[in-house]
Amino acid sequence: MWVFQVLVVFGIATVGKASYEKIGYFWHITDFHYDPRFSVRGDTKKGCWQSEYEGVSRAAWRPAGRFGDFSCDAPWELIESAAKSMMSRHSDNVEFVLWTGDALSHAFSHPAKRIQERKQVQLLQNLTDLLGKTFSSQFVFPALGHDDPMPRKELGRMWSRWLPTDSMNTFETGGYYMIERKTLKLQIIVLNTNLMRRDDSDDDAGRQWDWLNKVLHKCQLHKETVYIVGHMPPGSDERQRGSLAFAYTDYHNRRYIQLVRKYSDIIVGQFFGHLHSDSFRIIYNEGRAVSWAMLAPSVTPRRTTDGPNNPGIRLYKFDKDTGQVFDYTQYYLDLSSANKKGEAEWAVEYNFSSYYGITNITPLSLHNLAEKLTQYIPSDNPTFTRYYRANSVRIHNESQIHLCDLSCAHNHYCAITRIDYREHEDCLKTAASALASSAVTKINTNHIFVFLTNILRCIL
């Protein structure tokens, strides 16, 4: 008691209280890929749709689970369970929600399986209403995904409960907007990353770049900080090779990197989805790490060419005024267990700071984390083992680390640290060259890895 009185006299208790009051939380949810045609009687080999298999012998198909299947997009019960889980956690301290696109099933983009745009908008309305009930006292900031319907005026009216007039104007024009927080330093910019796939002469894409540069310049003049939010991230998919690894065109990817470097002093966070995986990215300027981006895993568990994942949702801890990110907690659903029990028990997968032994999230701390991924061969590297398990939201357990060899590990490392496409390709070639040389000379594997790590560090 005496110690507390002394602290109050010197104003320390007041400072502590003020610091505590600045701490808030926000959710990042992405890639629901809701499929209303999902049925537990549907064939998992054909999207879990029952209608295609009426009259077919039960022996000809494997039924899906109540909360979904790794071969199919998300049923309503899975999405509803995620919403209930978010509502039960930190509901009083949640400031806002980032919803980064691809709300509807992949199947709707297939010509033979597409449903009318009007029906897609109706389904998106159902998801919007669910989030509105889940976060009745918070704002949800949506970003357009590449699998979302495109009638922006209808979507603008749907999301007008969350978007102010100024934001609505640019959203209905180009699918992007800014949330100006008048009393706080942090501003939120939501991009339409679908425009990043367009030709470099595209007028809509050009207008987004002009607008983005203008608002960032304004924030810099006013000494405000910024979050950049979007569906597709810049750079390459850490699980893919070749053209499938790239979401942006080379032109738009380079422009994005240049812009982040230019305004890295005010960009305090970048948040994306799309890849369905748990990873991060670092942007460098003249060899120095200057900015970072977090990639959150999807709610849909659907297996793609690069493998499935358990459903995931993420809760960030941050400074409500400046936007400085302190930490995050990754929640997940063990889908196999949930289907077996008939109950969705969302649990903590990991806490970022304790999982990786990092006290703060900064460009430098994430650079140091990335460097640890290449210190030893994957099976002997506890940091990479943790990262690789998180990357698939616990689909890969520790006994499966052998599934990712040296080439696989370097694909992850190069994707994290080389956002520019040419630099990424050079990074992979350097790794491949070192591995090929080692095979000829039969150098010990650990020596190869040390040699390769030294080469990569020289590039930086």
Contacts of 324 (CB under 8 A, 6+ apart): 225, 268, 318
| Residue-level pLDDT at 394 | 93
Q: What is the pLDDT of residues 327-344, one digit of tens each?
A: 999 999 999 999 999 999
Count of other CB atoms within 10 angstroms of residue 209:
15
The residue to which tokens 């979007």 are assigned: 230
How is residue 419 written in tokens? 């956002």
What is the C-alpha to C-alpha distance for residues 49 and 54, in angstroms, rounded to an integer? 10
Share the mean pLDDT of the chain.
87
Q: What is the mean pLDDT of residues 106-135?
A: 83
- Which of 160, 153, 90 lies closest to 128, judged by CA? 160
What is the C-alpha to C-alpha distance for residues 290 and 383, in angstroms, rounded to an integer? 23
Residue 352 backbone dihedrals phi, psi, to 5 degrees = -55, -50
Q: What is the pLDDT of residues 266-297, one digit of tens each?
A: 999 999 999 999 999 999 999 999 999 999 99
Q: Rounded to the nearest 10 degrees, how much is the dihedral formed by the CA atoms of 206, 208, 213, 214?
A: 110
| Residue-level pLDDT at 435 | 60
How is residue 412 written in tokens? 């992850």
| Residue-level pLDDT at 51 | 58
Q: What is the pLDDT of residues 150-173, one digit of tens each?
A: 778 899 999 999 999 999 999 999
Q: What is the pLDDT of residues 69-97, one digit of tens each?
A: 999 999 999 999 999 999 998 767 899 99
| Residue-level pLDDT at 7 | 39
Structural domain spans, the chain: 373-460
Q: Could you tell me which residues are beta bridge partners of residue 432?
A: none
Q: What is the pLDDT of residues 381-412, one digit of tens each?
A: 899 999 999 999 999 876 677 778 888 899 99
The percent of residues in the chain predicted with pLDDT above 70, rounded, is 84
Tell whether the model's pLDDT for residue 181 goes beyond 80: yes
Q: What is the pLDDT of residues 307-324, one digit of tens each?
A: 899 999 999 999 999 999
Q: Flag whether the pTM goes above 0.85.
A: yes
What are all long-range contacts of 323-328, with beta carbons under 8 Å and residues at least 24 apart?
323/185, 323/186, 323/225, 323/226, 323/227, 323/268, 323/269, 324/225, 324/268, 325/268, 325/269, 325/361, 326/23, 326/353, 326/360, 326/361, 327/351, 327/352, 327/353, 327/361, 328/294, 328/352, 328/361
Sorting pLDDT into bands at 50, 70 and 90, what band is 209? Answer: very high
Q: At what angle do helices 250-262 and 203-221 cross, to 10 degrees?
A: 10
